[in-house]
Structure 1
Amino acid sequence: MENFLSSCTSGGCGAKIGAKDLTGLLQEIPRKKDDRLLVGFDTADDAAVYQINEDQSLISTMDFFSPMVEDPKTFGKIAAANALSDIYAMGGRPLYALNIVCFPEKMDKKYLKEMLTGGAEKIEEANTVLAGGHSIYDHEPKYGLAVTGTLSNRKIINNNTPKEKDVLLLTKALGVGLVQSAVRVGLADKEIEKAALFSMQRLNKDASEKLKQYDVHACTDVTGFGFLGHLVEMVEKDYTAVVDTSLLPLLPKVYYFAEEYLATAGGQRNREFLGKKVPLANIAPAMQEILFDPQTSGGLLISVAADKAQDLLSEIQKDDPQAQMIGEIVKKEDAPIVLL
């Protein structure tokens, strides 16, 4: 009987089609204009927002991928947390979710049950309803969710609307892609793997609820395009982000794994897409790999008014102690990101 993970050539958010391949293609797709579609895919935001009345909008997203971990139940939890995160990043409240399932016909169906059970448990933790789904046979397992929620029209948090002098916060440690690479080659011990699994399974729900109470101007979750990819999306249009790399929260031994050249294919795609947009001459090669590393179910990257940043960080750290201030937003310079 085939092993749950053995058939998968790539997994997690590292399996995403690269931004370089998507950018031009998406602009050529025909689409109908609708003034009620407040957020579509023009700005690569985290979810679609569709106005239903003067006060409220629906927020909708979908996300799925193949496994990056051996245990199917754990994989189900990670995939569900990752899909729900897009709703949280924009300040929404998820209402219900639909399963998206691909599964090999000859694989033991106990794995399918465990995968779906893990997802259902994470959906329940989010106080969200599992309302159905769709499944097909495929060559490898894939799982995720389509999630629908609501949010106030006055409190939509976009991914690309920071303001000058904002402070940047990051709520989860970086490096899950590198840790998973280290697990596959036997370099990561159980405690390191456990830390990465805990991070990927953790909902961004608590941080999302807290940021609604503060003067947050922009937010996104850090996933397959890596820390730099998602930060470029946030600032490229109007501003520059200055980031102190020494302040970035990292999973245990991630820097060592990066030094051992355990970079992923997804990380390389991210590097190729950003090209020369971000100057890297003063950044050590290992840190570069961390900055490009695809994150599965990563943390929230928040741009908040400077006078509210410490208060918000203190609130978030009550549940997410690894959260840190990592930089600031300044006037637009030659590069969208300056790394210190």
Structure 2
Amino acid sequence: MAYRLTQYAHGGGCACKIPPGELEDVVRGLTGSRPLDPPGELEDVVRGLTGSRPLDPPGELVVGLDDGDDAAAVRIAGGQALIATTDFFTPVVDDPYDWGRIAAANALSDVYAMGGTPVVALNLLCWPRDALPFDLATEVLRGGKDVCGAAGTHLAGGHSVDDPEPKYGLAVTGTADPHRLLRNDAGAPGMPLSLTKPLGLGVLNARHKATAERFEQAIEVMTTLNDAAARAALEAGLTCATDVTGFGLLGHVHKLARASGVTAVIDSASVPYVDGARESLRAGFVPGGSKRNLDWVRPHADLSAVDEETALLLADAQTSGGLLVAGEIPGAPVVGELVSRRDGRTVVVR
């Protein structure tokens, strides 16, 4: 019997994330910091209390909840920062091995997006044991193991639960130089914005879920590690980055610009897309997460220069997407720039 894993979940991949606006409401009271818009004098007063700036003593929280960075970072003895993150989601493709690879690459990406090196990972597996055979779960775990092997990361055990929906991902621990972290609050006017992977993954994954068509380029993009992009950013002396995943390019660039106290200008004509993404969108394959992303970011963006189709693609929920880097790195197109703050709005031009 052939099993289609995507049919056992209500959504797929990072499109299943809680919408960004709702998530911010959930965690707002946990940060102990300041209102997110706009930055001001109070931000400077409390910043040292929230742990958002690097501090010298070991054990100090360098990066936490405050600005929605990709992972947490804690200064440890020996002059290093320990980076911790976790990420898991429902099936984004039907093939269990590919799903495992994609989920593992996506989880490791949070460490790379901070400029770190993943050291050890733990499996997180939720499995409907009465609905799906365990040999499929074995293939999922094998995919995760192979990607961790390619990353030079130990995969040691983990945790599993019986769950009505299949879910898989990793809890990852890495290390970094605390003085050379990539973070989303380090942007400044005049910095170009580079994007290391094409958009449109959410749209193609929605089409795959509906039709079972396989999109090889999308799978290749989602299983490609962001390690080389992170190294290139560090070698160039850059300090500001985030990965582009479930909140789409518009959502993640808005969070980066807001955290940095600047405005992002996106050149829509320079943004790359996976083959078939625009055609699939026109055929009606749009993830619910992409629509929610656009609804959330629309009040914070000037989208008057582009049509609704382009706006949806710019907000498309990505799974295991690329890095958005404030600076230029080899092989990555420049898709915009950071400028002085303009009413807290992201501007899209063409």
- Whether TM exceeds 0.5 here: the answer is yes
2:82 pairs with 1:73: no
Bigger CA drift: 268-277 or 108-117? 268-277
Aligned to 1:320: none
Provide the rounded CA distance (Å) in 2 between the counterparts of 1:145 and 1:60. 11
Partner amino acid for 1:332?
R
Partner amino acid for 1:337?
T
Q: Cα RMSD (Å) of the superposition?
A: 1.8
1:339–1:275 Cα change, 3 Å: closer
Aligned to 2:45: none
Bigger CA drift: 4-13 or 131-140? 4-13
Aligned to 2:282: 259
2:310 pairs with 1:287: yes
Percent identity for Structure 1 against Structure 2: 37
State the shift of 1:204 in Å.
0.4
1:150 alignment partner, SS class: strand
C-alpha distance after superposition, 1:293-326 (max 9, x if no partner) = 100000000002xxxx3xx22xxx2xxxxx3111
Provide the rounded CA distance (Å) in 1 between the counterparts of 2:101 and 2:78. 35
Provide the rounded CA distance (Å) in 1 between the counterparts of 2:238 and 2:288. 33
State the shift of 1:54 in Å.
6.1
Aligned to 1:269: 292
2:310 alignment partner, SS class: helix
Provide the rounded CA distance (Å) in 2 between the counterparts of 1:146 and 1:52. 19
State the shift of 1:268 in Å.
1.6
Provide the rounded CA distance (Å) in 2 between the counterparts of 1:68 and 1:203. 17
For the 8 Å contact 2:126–2:160, the answer to whether it is kept is yes
Provide the rounded CA distance (Å) in 1 between the counterparts of 2:340 and 2:237. 19
State the shift of 1:236 in Å.
1.9
Partner amino acid for 2:181?
I
Aligned to 2:121: 97
1:285–1:73 Cα change, 3 Å: same
For the 8 Å contact 2:93–2:208, the answer to whether it is kept is no
For the 8 Å contact 1:45–1:158, the answer to whether it is kept is yes
1:293 alignment partner, SS class: coil
Bigger CA drift: 242-251 or 256-265? 256-265
For the 8 Å contact 1:55–1:154, the answer to whether it is kept is no
For the 8 Å contact 2:4–2:95, the answer to whether it is kept is no
Aligned to 1:330: 339
Partner amino acid for 1:43?
D
Provide the rounded CA distance (Å) in 2 between the counterparts of 1:334 and 1:223. 25
State the shift of 1:256 in Å.
2.0
Provide the rounded CA distance (Å) in 1 between the counterparts of 2:337 and 2:210. 37
2:47 pairs with 1:47: no
Provide the rounded CA distance (Å) in 2 between the counterparts of 1:263 and 1:174. 13
1:288–1:75 Cα change, 3 Å: same
Aligned to 2:27: 26
Partner amino acid for 1:124?
G
TM-score (norm 1): 0.91
Give the unaligned 5+ runs of structure 1.
318-322
Bigger CA drift: 24-33 or 143-152? 24-33
C-alpha distance after superposition, 1:229-263 (max 9, x if no partner) = 00001112411111110100111121222223322
2:154 pairs with 1:129: yes
Provide the rounded CA distance (Å) in 1 between the counterparts of 2:154 and 2:139. 18
Partner amino acid for 1:336?
R
Provide the rounded CA distance (Å) in 1 between the counterparts of 2:347 and 2:20. 21
Partner amino acid for 1:250?
Y
1:5 alignment partner, SS class: helix
TM-score (norm 2): 0.88
Provide the rounded CA distance (Å) in 2 between the counterparts of 1:29 and 1:91. 25
